[in-house]
Homo-oligomer: A and B are copies of this chain.
Amino acid sequence: MKIEIDHQSAVPLHIQVENLLRELIRQPEYQAGKLLPNELELAKKLAVSRTTLRQAINKLVYEELLVRKKRLGTKVAQPKMSSKSMNWLSFTQEMLARGITVKNYELHISWVYPDEQIAAFFDIRTDKKVMKLERLRGNTQEPFVYFISYFHPRIGLTGDEDFKKPLYEMLEQEHYFVATLSKEEISSRTADKMIAAKLEIDLGSAILFRKRFVYDQAERPMEYNLGYYKAESFIYTVESRRTP
């Protein structure tokens, strides 16, 4: 791995340092409780100020990947099983893990003007069109989720993609965008006319609504995804552990 910081780069130093540290603590020699070099030394080695280094460390401390200990140093935290560090899965993979073969029932691509919310998320103006991908998906028996995805123009999707292979795999291999962080909001709704028709359920049935915000390595917004799940076919599970 590289332990080089590029002072000419457009990406801020503290971000570079942060990424470097993320990589560093994943190395076998830095597992579980190992101490990082002390701040002064590390700052010197990376040729950044201690302030900048601390800014990076702080972020990882906040994410509980690192733990500070006075007089001792900063050490790598015990990995936790929790939603925070949960392995990130694409829908296809997520379903595969549940033993479900995914089938696309409908697929529709269009270019639309984003509404305020979407524009705000992508941090673009509402008069710049974005690609909208609608997919009705499910197992081999029946559709059970209706997805609406919007993609940041930066990614450069044309609409000619066939979406045969998993989306993130395609984005990664052909567009060099690696989905790294996702934030989700799960809430409950009832089916309106449109959704009821898509999912072939009664009007007013329970729907699990899952809104996902997907970011790339640099934590830039990538995808804005809405998922309407048939209630009976999808239960969201979370495991969290207290760490004293």
Contact = CB atoms under 8 A, between A and B. Distances in A.
Given A62-B62, A238-B83, A243 B187 contact: no
A236 B205 contact: no
Given A235-B187, A239-B181, A240-B182, A204 B204 contact: yes
A185 B84 CA distance: 10
Contact of A188 (B181, B183, B188): B188
Interface string A206-244: 111100000000000000000001010011111111110
Interface stretch (A40-48, A85-93, A125-133, A147-155): A85-93
Interface string A89-106: 000000000000000000
A206 B188 contact: yes
A197 to B, nearest CB: 18
- Chain A, interface residues (CB within 8 Å), range: 35 or more
A186 interface: yes
A209 B206 CA distance: 11
Contacts of A206: 187-190, 206-207
A169 to B, nearest CB: 13
Contact of A231 (B62, B188, B229): B188
Given A204-B204, A206-B206, A207-B206, A239 B184 contact: yes
A76 interface: no
A187 to B, nearest CB: 5
B180 A238 contact: no
B189 A238 contact: no
Nearest to A180: B242
Given A26-B243, A243-B85, A188 B204 contact: no
Contacts of A205: 190
Nearest to A26: B243
A82 interface: yes
Contacts of A186: 186, 208, 235-238
B87 A243 contact: yes
19 contacts: A80-B185, A84-B239, A87-B240, A87-B243, A88-B242, A179-B242, A181-B242, A183-B237, A183-B239, A184-B237, A185-B235, A185-B236, A185-B237, A186-B208, A187-B208, A187-B231, A188-B207, A189-B231, A190-B206
